[in-house]
Amino acid sequence: MLCVLVLVAGCGGHGGNVISTGERYVSDRSGVTDYRLGIGDKVRMSVFREPDMSGEFLVGPNGTMALPLIGETPALGRRVEDVASDAAARYGAGYLRNPQVNMEVVGFRPFFILGEVTTPGQYPYSIGLTAFNAIATAQGFTPRADRYTVHIRREGAAVEETYQAMPNLRIYPGDTVRIGERFF
């Protein structure tokens, strides 16, 4: 009898370290704070009184944005404000007098969802995305889905972490979300 109880407890539980607090559990919908640019993000740059230099630019596979006149500008892992300051400094060092450069993210890199959802795949990220929103975007759970935990691998991380599925569980751009299969 004891062996059966141990076997059932081992198979039926969610096991491992399930995270239920931390930075991903935020009660407000203020959006992404301290956002760092990544490959695939689209940025709109406005250079005051220079419409030919303004436009939308993509962070390329090499982690840079190709900006008019100044060329490849490092962007990977940097805040958009820092990239704008760098561009303004480079424009001011030979091209423009007192350039005023503004940048904003207009397109986030996608997130990925797989496992026990109806339509796994790549989806566009939107500010304030939660795990439940991501699952709904993928047409919901399959009948075999574990609805109590969500496995998330942050972009660039080697391993995924297991989180308790709650309404305020945040998903970030570039995340890979996996919904596991329940045992019973």
Return per-residue pLDDT of the chain as tens, 184 residues. Answer: 443 333 333 444 445 699 888 888 876 555 556 789 999 999 999 999 999 999 999 999 999 999 999 999 999 999 999 999 999 999 999 899 999 999 999 999 999 999 999 999 999 999 889 999 999 999 999 999 999 999 999 998 999 999 999 999 999 999 999 999 998 7
DSSP state of 117: B
Q: How far is residue 73's CA from residue 95's CA, in Å, rounded to a whole number?
A: 15
Q: How far is CA 139 from CA 47, 133, 157, in A?
A: 41, 10, 26
Tell me how long the chain is. Answer: 184
Q: Which domains does the chain have, with CATH numbers?
A: 42-107 (3.30.1950.10), 108-184 (3.10.560.10)
